[in-house]
Amino acid sequence: MVPDPSAEFRALVESYSDPYLGQTLGAARAVDLAELKGDRAHVRVALGFPVGGYEAEFTRDLTAHVAAGGGPRELDVELTAKITAHAVQRQLSPLAGVRNVVAVASGKGGVGKSTVAANLALAWARQGARVGLLDADIYGPSQPIMLGLTGQRPASPDGKRIKPLAAHGLVAMSIGFLIDPEQPMVWRGPMVTQALTQLLGDTEWGDLDYLVIDMPPGTGDISISLSQFLPRAQVLIVTTPQLAAQRVARRAALMAKQVDQEVIGIVENMSWFTADDGTRYELFGSGGGQMLAEEVGVDLMARIPLLPAMGRGADEGEPVAVVAPGSEAAEAFDGLADAVVEKRPRIRTNPALTIQ
């Protein structure tokens, strides 16, 4: 039988093992097209994560793999993203059009949870994903300021559905868009739950690859209610290196496990400050994030440094991922986005971890 060059070429392409997928293109069923036309070789690949900024590296490595296997030395590569949804827990229904939900939580305020949520969302948006950000902190919404949307109001053309506001390549919704900024939220639990239900369910999120939830601190009514509304939610826990913060953050992780949500990793914020002379200072100690990760049985997915631009940007509506994309903080957020989406970390169970 005469060998089929096209079939051999496709098999060669499918045998390439992508470092972020952790498997071959064939095993991932990622090759939409692999064809030979004379001296031209065209490949179209769809990966399950944002591919912005990755095409040049992918094309280089795939071309080298194909050439080493005796195939063409030049490829026309078309790289796209095809992001799938995570499995739904129990018998709950997902949000229409929203493929993945990542809740960013903490056990206490002041650890930079909102900063992490905003910059994680922006990192995905910069990589080409369609991203939404929900500010679920009803009592203390901060995303309107952080995204530069203070004073703006969302539209509701039909009086029922709300159109989220757009900023820096993503869409966002917050109770802070709907109330006077000086108005205190003197609401009991049921009122807060109802407001959150409306923010989540009445917003026209559209077609989103990722919806990031900026959770309120602690383990109160809002956190429990969100576990019922968001059956696909995966949870990132934010802490600082301090032992006291780590201990409180542990409670948020335990609560997520108790309501059957998936804690996928720990983020240690304010890990260090780098002075002008290059000296690194660990102002709040070290090791808290790693210790928490080991206790919960997940990965420490990122350590985020302190940077003056982060504080200024939060006050001026220009997050560090936007104003300082090459900074060590922005690179840490890019790494966090990669760790959550591209590397697909395996969740390790820890039977010794119990609710106390």
Nearest alpha-carbon partner for 179 in 151, 137, 205:
151
Q: List, for residues 173-221, the tens digit of each pLDDT value.
A: 998 888 776 666 656 666 777 777 788 888 999 999 999 999 887 666 6
With pLDDT > 90 as the criterion, what percentage of the chain qualifies? Answer: 27
pTM of the model: 0.79
CB-neighbour burial class of residue 29 (10 A; exposed 0-12, middle 13-18, buried 19+):
exposed
Beta-strand relationship, 170-174 and 280-281: unpaired
Among 120-134, 154-168, 233-247, the minimum mean pLDDT is found in 233-247
- Taking the C-alpha atoms of residue 321 and residue 121, their distance in angstroms, rounded to an integer, is 9
Q: Chain-centre distance of CA 66, in angstroms?
A: 33
Residue for token digits 């383990």? 219
Token pair of 244 as six digits: 């006291």
Domains of the chain, each with CATH number or no CATH: 5-81 (3.30.300.130), 98-341 (3.40.50.300)
- Taking the C-alpha atoms of residue 55 and residue 77, their distance in angstroms, rounded to an integer, is 8
3-state secondary structure at position 43: strand
What is the pLDDT averaged over residues 8-32? 88
- Taking the C-alpha atoms of residue 35 and residue 78, their distance in angstroms, rounded to an integer, is 12
Contact predicate 318/325, CB 8 Å: no
Give the DSSP letter of residue 162: B
What is the pLDDT averaged over residues 87-103? 66
Q: Is the dihedral of CA 86, 87, 90, 94 positive or negative?
A: positive
3-state secondary structure at position 240: coil
Residue with the bigger pLDDT between 122 and 228: it is 122
Assign 305 a pLDDT band (cuts: 50, 70, 90): very high
Helices (H), 15-164: 55-68, 113-126, 143-146
Residue with the bigger pLDDT between 311 and 238: it is 238
- Taking the C-alpha atoms of residue 174 and residue 316, their distance in angstroms, rounded to an integer, is 17
Residue with the bigger pLDDT between 350 and 306: it is 306
What is the pLDDT averaged over residues 48-62? 86
Q: At what angle do helices 5-14 and 55-68 cross, to 10 degrees?
A: 130
What is the pLDDT averaged over residues 64-89? 80
CB-neighbour burial class of residue 8 (10 A; exposed 0-12, middle 13-18, buried 19+):
middle
pLDDT for residue 202: 87
Nearest alpha-carbon partner for 148 in 127, 123, 165:
165
Q: Is the pLDDT of residue 345 over 50?
A: no
Residue with the bigger pLDDT between 346 and 312: it is 312
